[in-house]
Amino acid sequence: MGTTTKDYYEILGVKKDASQDEIKRAYRRLARKYHPDVNPGDKVAEQKFKEINEAYEVLGDPKKRAEYDQFGKTPFGPEGFEGFRTYDFGFDFGAKGFEDIFSDFLGGFRTREAPVRGHDLRTSLDITLEEAYKGTVKSVTLTRDVSCPDCGGSGAESIEVCSHCKGSGVITQGRGFFNISQTCPSCRGRGNLAKKRCRQCNGGGVVTKTETLKVKIPPGADTGSRLKLRGKGGAGINGGPPGDLYIDINVLPHPVFRREGDDIYVEVPVRISEAVLGGRIKVPTLDGEVTMKLPPGTDSGKKFRLKGKGLPNPKTGARGDEFAVVKIVVPKNITGKIKEALKEVEKAY
């Protein structure tokens, strides 16, 4: 049986009727004092730190504590409690965890945490069909967090080697036959001192920056096209890389042309006489106006294909087509003479 006779209350220096809050506070105080980072190479402190954590694992959990109180031992033992240097305590401090407990110990500077990549950002950009046709360069003004240029993201105005312990984090004093090592009270064992918070970022390591980016939009971009600007997202934390910026393209509706994939459609008004007799008509394209030959006897709704007058496909580079759709326009104020003529037209059907 993995029983223990250790008095966890004694280890944490609290009374048997201490509240959970008192236990937690006592644990925090002791954990800071005996933390291996504060006492490098100190085996006694290391042992003490283990004991404190073992005690808190039981007393910090009301269920385990009740069992311990009843049986004077714990059936749980300290298993699962290994490698405390990796901060894997096997129990929960709540949402904020280790950082919360040791935040003041770490002096508020987050130098010991793992690098975290910045967030990706998303924005959208409206372009006209003409811009989509030729490709364009647009300006995007963006306000985002960037790594503070003054402190390089550390949050500290400057970091100096602790003069008290000369960077070792430990002070050794001779007392009789013994050399007593203790944590440097000046730097609290860190070996260096952050001299003031960076004024530019107030210690956060990150500043807000508004910047105007030139964004190149390739020919053929369509609504739903997405551009990626690497590294233009949010700032990374603890030296992590910044995120990326994604720009969603939105092509605005056009007053004349309707787009369908790489093809465009345009309605061309045609006079009755032109439709009947044929002629040359002007057709708008995204490249300017072109003249098209209209054969005699053209029906309304007839589609004419203008090859290659559509948009380029951004992937293949192949050009779409333009379709000119004939719409016969009927005159409103007609004289008797034209009426007579139209009666003759009747006979042609």
| Residue of 55, 142, 146, 198 that binds Zn ion (CB under 5 A) | 198
Count CA atoms closer than 13 A to 277's CA, side-chain side.
Answer: 8
Closest contact distance (angstroms) between CB of 161 and Zn ion is 8
- Total binding residues for Zn ion by CB under 5 A? 12
CB of 195 to Zn ion, least distance (A): 13
The token duo for 344 is 């003759």
Least Å distance, CB 167 to Zn ion, is: 7
Which residues in 120-139 contact Zn ion (CB under 5 A)?
none
Q: Does 37 bind Zn ion (CB under 5 A)?
A: no
Burial 29-64 (b: 16+ CB within 10 A, else e): ebbbebbebbbeebeebbebbbbbbbbbbbbbbeeb
User: Smaller CB distance to Zn ion: residue 68 or 109?
Assistant: 109
* Least separation in angstroms between CB 145 and Zn ion: 12
CB of 199 to Zn ion, least distance (A): 8
In angstroms, give the least distance from the CB of 205 to Zn ion. Answer: 6
Both tokens of residue 142?
Answer: 């963006």
Q: Which of 200, 238, 250, 313 binds Zn ion (CB under 5 A)?
A: 200
Cβ proximity to Zn ion: between 145 and 322 the closer is 145
List Cβ neighbours of 322 (8 Å cut-off, separation of 6 or more). Answer: 263, 264, 265, 266, 283, 285, 286, 305, 306, 309, 310
Query: Directed axis angle between helix 43-59 and helix 62-71, to 10°?
Result: 100
Element (H, E) at 16: none
In this structure, are residues 106 and 155 in contact, taking their beta carbons and an 8 Å threshold? Answer: no
Establish if 187 lies at the interface with Zn ion (CB under 5 A): yes
- For 116, which DSSP code? B
Does residue 223 belong to the site contacting Zn ion (CB under 5 A)?
Answer: no
Is residue 184 near Zn ion by the rule CB under 5 A? yes
- From the number of C-beta atoms within 10 Å of its C-beta (0-12, 13-18, 19+), residue 201 rates as buried
Q: Is 58 in the site for Zn ion (CB under 5 A)?
A: no
Residues between 299 and 318 that touch Zn ion (CB under 5 A): none
Residue 206 in contact with Zn ion, rule: CB under 5 A: no
User: With CB under 5 A as the contact rule, which of the stretches 177-185, 252-260, 274-282, 336-344 interacts with Zn ion?
Assistant: 177-185
Q: Which is nearer to Zn ion, 52 or 184 (CB)?
A: 184
Taking the complex as a whole, the smallest distance from the CB of residue 97 to Zn ion amounts, in Å, to 25
Say whether residue 237 binds Zn ion (CB under 5 A). Answer: no
Positive or negative CA dihedral for 158, 160, 164, 167? positive
- The nearer residue to Zn ion, 48 or 164, going by C-beta atoms, is 164
Q: Where are the alpha helices (DSSP H) in the chain?
A: 8-12, 20-34, 43-59, 62-71, 97-102, 129-134, 272-277, 336-346
Q: Under 8 Å CB-to-CB from 273, ≥6 apart: which residues? A: 279
Least gap, CB of 198 to Zn ion (angstroms): 3
Q: Pick out residues in 142-171 that bind Zn ion (CB under 5 A).
A: 148, 150-151, 162, 164-165
Nearest to 236 by CA among 151, 109, 115: 115
Question: Would you state the structure tokens that stand for residue 151, as one six-digit string?
Answer: 């402190």
| Residues from 64 through 93 that contact Zn ion (CB under 5 A) | none
Closest CB to Zn ion among 139 and 163? Answer: 163
Interaction site with Zn ion (CB under 5 A): 148, 150-151, 162, 164-165, 184, 186-187, 198, 200-201
